[in-house]
Amino acid sequence: MSISSYKPVCDPGSQHPKQFNQLHGIIASSNALPISSPDLEGFIDARQKLESQQQENKGVQAEFDKLDEDSRIYKIVGPVLLKQDKNEAVMAVNGRLDFIEKEIKRIEGQIKEAQEKAEKKRAEVRNSSKKLS
Domain ranges of the chain: 15-132
pLDDT surpassing 50 at residue 125: yes
Mean pLDDT on 90-115: 96
Split at pLDDT 50, 70, 90, the class of 84 is very high
* CATH pick for 15-132 out of 3.30.365.10, 1.10.287.370, 1.10.940.10, 3.40.50.720: 1.10.287.370
User: Does the predicted TM-score (pTM) go above 0.75?
Assistant: no
Question: What per-residue confidence (pLDDT) applies to 6?
Answer: 47
**Rounded to a whole number, what is the distance in angstroms from the first to the last CA of the chain?**
25
Q: Do the beta carbons of residue 83 and residue 72 sit within 8 Å?
A: yes
Q: Which of 30-34, 57-61, 68-72, 126-130 has maximum average pLDDT?
A: 57-61
pLDDT surpassing 50 at residue 3: no
Question: What per-residue confidence (pLDDT) applies to 21?
Answer: 60
Rounded CA-CA distance 45/34 in Å is: 17
Strand partners, 82: 75
Rounded CA-CA distance 29/38 in Å is: 17
Strand partners, 76: 81
Q: Do the beta carbons of residue 39 and residue 47 sit within 8 Å?
A: no
- Contacts of 25-28 with CB under 8 Å at 24 or more apart are 25/128, 26/125, 26/128, 26/129, 26/132, 27/3, 28/3
Mean pLDDT on 85-109: 96
